[in-house]
Amino acid sequence: MAIKVHGIPLSTATMRVVSCLIEKDLDFEFVFVDMANEEHKKHPFLSLNPFAQVPAFEDGDLELFESRAITQYIAHTYASNGIQLILQDPKKMAIMSIWMEVEGQKFEPLASKLTWELVIKPMIGMGSTDDAIVKEKEEQLSKVLDIYETQLTKSKYLGGDSFTLVDLHHIPNIYHLMNTKAKALFDSRPRVSAWCADILARPAWVKGLEKLQK
């Protein structure tokens, strides 16, 4: 059954799913969504995702959206493919779940706003960076990264001792922010800095970039 990802390379949520599929050695078809012409706001795309956002995902007759729901489906359904991205021990899985939620609830709202202001907004001509928003979000993200720095003294990766969905979910925003002044937030914390270097160097991530951005 064919796997399809509908999205655009610039979308962090799209790249999250693509990177997951490559970590799991799964073949897929990438379907470019012409967002400039608002294809995502029209049918048939809206039947795949009523929120009119990329990515949407198909695996045979199963249709999904929300990038983190998709990666969890992939990690569970294709557990024996590629590397394990979830943990088998229930207590370790519970700890991992904490940091999945931290990424979604604490990191993403700040990092995605910074990615928007510093990278995407100027790139697509939606206006110039709002420095006041950047300052506010950088200050808030600093506090989150202080906690990450401490957590990374307890385990090599953020959700445990091996690379999991927790780390994978962070990569796309960190990738974009590493080309901005927000890089300093990550570089100034030794363990966070080493963790970023590690996860950005994942062959699956690099391969995903090459596949979509060529």
- Contacting residues toward its own copies, per CB under 8 A: 50-51, 62, 64-66, 68-69, 72-73, 76-77, 90-91, 93-95, 97-98, 100-102, 104-106, 108-109, 147, 150-151
User: Prior bond to 44 cis, omega within 30?
Assistant: yes
Cα angle value 122/106/212 (rounded, 5°): 45
With respect to its own copies, which residue has the nearer C-beta, 77 or 179? Answer: 77
Closer residue to its own copies in complex, CB, 64/141: 64
Q: Which is nearer to its own copies, 76 or 181 (CB)?
A: 76
Task: Identify which of residues 140 and 162 has a Cβ nearer to its own copies in the complex.
Answer: 140
CA–CA gap between residue 30 and residue 7 (Å, rounded) = 7
User: Token pair for residue 200?
Assistant: 């950005």
Query: Which whole-number Å values give the CA distances from 212 to 22, 31, 138, 207, in the listed order?
Result: 12, 10, 29, 9
Q: 3-class SS at 206?
A: helix
Q: Which of 109, 100, 112 is nearest to 167 (CA)?
A: 100
Q: Which is nearer to its own copies, 109 or 122 (CB)?
A: 109
Instruction: Give the ranges where the chain is alpha helix by DSSP (H).
Output: 12-23, 45-48, 67-77, 90-102, 108-115, 121-123, 131-151, 165-177, 183-187, 190-200, 203-213
**CB-side neighbour CA atoms (13 Å) of 26:** 25
For residue 118, the minimal CB distance to its own copies (Å) is 21
Residue 114 C-beta: closest distance to its own copies, Å:
17
Q: How far is the CB of 42 from its own copies (least distance, A)?
A: 16
Which CB sits closer to its own copies, 77 or 188? Answer: 77
Least distance to its own copies from the beta carbon of 126, Å?
19
Task: Give the shortest CB-210-to-its own copies separation in angstroms.
Answer: 28
d(CA 76, CA 25): 14
- What single DSSP character describes residue 83? S
CB of 41 to its own copies, least distance (A): 12
